[in-house]
Amino acid sequence: MAIHVVRINTTPVKGTALHQPAQVTLGPVGVHENRRFHFIDARGTMINGKRAGELVRLRSDYDAEADRLSIALPDGRRIEDHVRASDEAVTTDFYGRPVHGHVVDGPWSAAVSEFAGVALRLVRIAPEITGTDVHPVTLISRGTMEHVRSIAGGPAERWEDRFRMLFELDGLEPYEEDSWIDRSVAIGEATVQVIGPVPRCVVTTHDPANGVRSFDTLGALRRARGEHRQALSTPTAHLPDGGKLLLGVYAVVEKPGAVQLGSAASVR
What are 185-211's pLDDT values in tens digits? 999 999 999 999 999 999 999 999 999
Region 170-193 average pLDDT = 97
Q: What is the pLDDT of residue 66?
A: 96
Alpha-carbon span 204 to 217, nearest angstrom: 6
Domain edges within the chain: 4-15+18-26+134-267, 32-125
Q: What is the pLDDT of residue 228?
A: 84
What are 117-130's pLDDT values in tens digits? 999 999 999 999 99
Question: pLDDT confidence of 241, banded at 50, 70, 90?
Answer: confident
User: Is the pLDDT assigned to residue 42 strictly greater than 90?
Assistant: yes
Alpha-carbon span 49 to 92, nearest angstrom: 16
User: Is the pLDDT assigned to residue 240 strictly greater than 80?
Assistant: no
Walk across the sheet containing 23-27 and list its strands. 30-31, 23-27, 257-260
Q: What is the pLDDT of residue 232?
A: 78
User: Is the pLDDT assigned to residue 19 strictly greater than 80?
Assistant: yes
CATH no. of 4-15+18-26+134-267: 2.40.33.20
Region 235-255 average pLDDT = 87
* Residue 161, C-beta contacts closer than 8 angstroms, at least 6 positions apart: 9, 18, 208
